[in-house]
Structures are given as C-alpha cells and as structure tokens.
C-alpha cells in the first residue's frame, strides 16, 4: 500500500550550479550542528575567492578536479597506479585517504575498496568470522532497512545471509522504524529460531537520514545485537555530537558517483578490531609481505600472520588512481558539507515561497519537506525530499495524476529527480 508519496531531488550532480547562492545567502542559512576537521596539505583547496556562486564552483569542484588530474598524471608518469607500487609517501594517495577518513569517522582502521557494496559484504564476513565463528549462518538473523539501495541487501546476500535477512520498514522521516525492528526481534526470539547474541543490524543511513542512535544502541545492548553502519550517504553526519560511522563494530562508506566524495566507484570499511582489519586487508588483495605497506593501519604482526594464509583474496582493492581523485575532495569536504546544507535550506525556503507566489496563498502546504528524524542529528543534506500532499494538505494515498509527466519533463532537462 502507498502510505506516502515522495519526490527526491539530488543535490550532488548539479549541486554547485543548480542555485546561485551568494555568500550572504549561505551565511543566513542555519549552520550545521557539527564540524569535521580533515587535514589538508593543499592550500589551493581552501583559497578564498569571490562570494558569488561561480567562486563556489571553482573552489569546491573545479580546483579539486584539476588537482586530481595532476595527481593522476604523476602516477602515470611514475607507474604507481597500484597501492603497493606507491614508493613515495606523497604519491600514496590511498594511505592518505584512509588516514583522513579514519580520523573523520573516529575509527582506528580504514581499508579502501572498489565499492561500498563490497565494503558491507566484507564487513559482514569479518563479523561472522571473528564474532560468530562457531555459529551456522541459518542461526544468525540479519536485519536491515527496507528503504535503501539494492546494493545493501545484495551485500548481505553475497556475505551468506540470503536466508536470514529480514528487512525493516521505514518511518515517515525515511529512517529505520525502530518500533518495527523491536517487534521483529521479539517475534524471532519467540519463534525459537534465533537467540539473543546471534543478530546483526546493518543500518543504512539512506539519503543521509539518521534515526535515534541512542535507541539503536539501547536495542543492540538489550538484545546483544551487533551493529554495522552503512554510511554511504551519511558520512559527515553526526548524532548528539558523535560521528556516524563510529557507533558500530564495523562501518562503511561509498565514493560512488552521487556521493559527497566522488571517485566514480569506490568505498571504505572501518573498524577498531585488529582481527577484522587483518581480514579486510587480506580479503581486499594483500599478499606476501605487502600488508606492511598499510603502515599504522595494519594490525599487529601476529594478527596479520594469523590471517595471511587463511583468507581468500577477492582482489577488491581501490586503485591509487581513484584515491588520487579522492584526496583533493577530502580537503574541501567540510566546505562541501556546509554548502550542501546551505543549498538545502535555501532551496526549501525558496521553493515554498515560489509556490505561494505562483499558486496562491496556502498552496505551499501541498509540499512538505521531509525533516530529519531527530533534533540531535547533525545533517549532511545530499538531496531534497518532498512529500506531495492533496489540495487540503492531507497525505495522498494514490499517485497524483500529473506527477509522472512533471517528473519526465524535469528529467528531460537533466535534473536528477525521482519518485519513491
């Protein structure tokens, strides 16, 4: 049944040109509830420019692109495309990226991979091996969001949990329904098929939407459930001052095209657990003594030797080429976050005002911008989400007749807009 009708409008693909926000406009918007410090050795990425929208494009898009191309040229000239070929620290962009993101997220270890999907899959495999080594797959329940991208449940299936994956409904704020989650947990326990301590929650921050993490952790504690955070859209977000991606045993990000940091394809997996990091390094494709090139991001030698010859090499490393594109973007990531949030507040306000102007007083009630689920969320708005209402301002239970033609018109104009 259709409970809500949403329109999503992506801020990434046209994120720095779709609205001309001056410095005065941006500073008038509510400021983010959190800050992120990422070390930068490149002064060009933070050079002050003029206060108009063109300077924003230059500073946050064009300069990082140019620096990325320069980095790639250096790698091609010196044949350092593979992470283990990077003999010069200044050209080891993978290690630079992993260090920066581990610090950002607040985790001890990071391992760069070729997709966010494989990051989730390896995360689950590592949790199974390290935390549930004696448990059969059919005795372990995995819960995850029903409202998420296909890659998330697919990763659970790839990791071996196809038969025990259970998807949880979303709330009107587009986050995991924690009431439904607890209902499902109680039903599973009552059935006798699953037990406390044999459960994993793969929590996807779909579209940067973060649930009440205090309650998530309370449920994990009450039912002895392990947490894996999929921060594909949620890196940079926080809850009650704590960075998303730091709550779970494992967390992941994606750097695929429509993300805050874009390397075309790519991802990372994070943990504080020595054995899991060893599993990630060797699963990703380390062999012989190459694990030592991960430097301080490699676990102790005895742990590495334990996993070196007992883990299948899946050859899913991120290339140094992708990381060469990533580093300049990390250097301006906080400013990108600030600008995305400023655009969101600007566009939400501007759209409502324009609706009133064109369609008459009170008409803006037909378009409700979906809020964050909790006041303690420090947001990173990567898209606009609208709930389309009926004339009287109540929820539409059926698709509005003109919606599809409107979306088609917008898509023909090359805007990333869709209904869901």
Q: What is the pLDDT of residues 226-285, one digit of tens each?
A: 999 999 888 899 999 999 999 999 999 999 987 889 999 999 999 999 999 999 999 999
Q: Mean pLDDT highest for which of 89-103, 246-260, 342-356?
A: 89-103
Nearest to residue 211, comparing CAs of 119, 145, 117?
Answer: 145
pLDDT value for 88:
96
Residue 35 CB neighbours (<10 A): 11
Q: What is the DSSP letter of 396?
A: P
CB-CB contact of 34 with 51 (8 Å): no
Secondary structure tally for the chain: helices H, strands E: 13, 14
Distance CA 192, CA 111 (A): 37
pLDDT value for 97:
98
pLDDT digits (tens, 9 = 90+) for 16-27: 443 334 433 444
Across residues 167-185, what is the average pLDDT? 96
Nearest to residue 267, comparing CAs of 319, 198, 195, 306?
Answer: 319
Average model confidence (pLDDT) for the chain?
Answer: 87
pLDDT value for 8:
55
Residue that is written with structure tokens 């594109």 in the block: 325
Query: For residue 1, is pLDDT > 80?
Result: no
Residue 355 pLDDT level (bands cut at 50, 70, 90): confident
Instruction: Identify the bridge partners of residue 368 per DSSP, sorted by sequence position.
Output: 387
Compute CA 394 distance to the chain's CA centroid, rounded to the nearest angstrom. Answer: 32
Distance CA 420, CA 407 (A): 12
| CB-neighbour burial class of residue 413 (10 A; exposed 0-12, middle 13-18, buried 19+) | exposed
| CB-neighbour burial class of residue 332 (10 A; exposed 0-12, middle 13-18, buried 19+) | buried
33 is written with which tokens? 């509830």
Query: For residue 35, is pLDDT > 50?
Result: no
CB-CB contact of 168 with 181 (8 Å): yes
Nearest to residue 373, comparing CAs of 206, 155, 232?
Answer: 206
CA-derived radius of gyration, the chain: 22
Across residues 122-141, what is the average pLDDT? 98
CB-CB contact of 277 with 271 (8 Å): yes
146: helix, coil or strand?
coil
Q: What percent of the chain has pLDDT over 90?
A: 67
Query: For residue 54, is pLDDT > 90?
Result: no
Residue 9 pLDDT level (bands cut at 50, 70, 90): low
CB-CB contact of 4 with 172 (8 Å): yes
**Sign of torsion over alpha carbons 408, 145, 123, 331:** positive
pLDDT value for 29:
42
Residue 366 pLDDT level (bands cut at 50, 70, 90): confident
């Amino acid at each position: 049944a259709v409970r809500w009708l949403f329109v999503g409008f992506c801020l990434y693909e046209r994120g720095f040109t779709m609205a001309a926000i001056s410095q005065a406009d941006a500073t008038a918007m509510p400021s983010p509830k959190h800050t992120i410090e990422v070390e930068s050795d490149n002064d060009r990425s933070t050079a002050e420019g003029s206060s108009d929208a063109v300077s924003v494009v230059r500073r946050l898009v064009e300069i990082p692109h140019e620096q990325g191309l320069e980095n790639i040229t250096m790698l091609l000239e010196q044949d350092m495309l593979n992470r283990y070929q990077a003999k010069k620290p200044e050209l080891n962009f993978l290690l630079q990226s992993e260090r920066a993101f581990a610090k950002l997220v607040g985790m001890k270890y990071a391992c760069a991979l070729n997709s966010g999907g494989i990051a989730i899959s390896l995360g689950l495999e590592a949790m199974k091996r390290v935390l549930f080594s004696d448990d059969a797959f059919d005795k372990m329940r995995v819960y995850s969001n029903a409202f998420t991208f296909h890659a998330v449940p697919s990763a659970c299936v790839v990791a071996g949990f196809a038969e025990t994956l259970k998807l949880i409904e979303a709330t009107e704020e587009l986050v995991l329904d924690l009431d439904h989650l607890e209902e499902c947990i109680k039903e599973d326990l009552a059935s006798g098929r699953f037990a406390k301590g044999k459960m994993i929650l793969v929590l996807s921050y779909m579209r940067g939407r973060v649930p009440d993490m205090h309650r998530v952790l309370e449920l994990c504690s009450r039912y002895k459930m392990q947490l894996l955070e999929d921060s594909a859209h949620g890196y940079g977000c926080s809850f009650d001052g704590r960075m998303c991606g730091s709550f779970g045993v494992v967390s992941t990000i994606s750097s695929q095209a429509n993300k805050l940091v874009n390397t075309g394809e790519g991802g990372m997996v994070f943990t504080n657990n020595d054995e899991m990091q060893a599993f990630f390094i060797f699963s990703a494709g380390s062999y012989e003594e190459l694990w030592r090139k991960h430097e301080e991001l490699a676990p102790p030698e005895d742990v590495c030797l334990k996993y070196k010859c007992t883990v299948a090499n899946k050859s899913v490393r991120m290339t140094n080429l992708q990381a060469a594109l990533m580093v300049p973007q990390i250097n301006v990531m906080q400013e990108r976050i600030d600008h995305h949030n400023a655009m969101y507040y600007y566009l939400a306000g501007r759209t409502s005002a324009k609706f009133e102007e064109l369609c008459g007083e009170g008409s803006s009630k037909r378009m409700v911008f979906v809020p964050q689920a909790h006041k303690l969320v420090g947001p990173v708005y990567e898209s606009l989400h609208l709930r389309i209402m009926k004339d009287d301002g109540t929820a539409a239970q059926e698709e509005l007749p003109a919606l599809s033609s409107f979306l088609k018109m917008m898509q023909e104009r090359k805007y990333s807009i869709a209904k869901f």
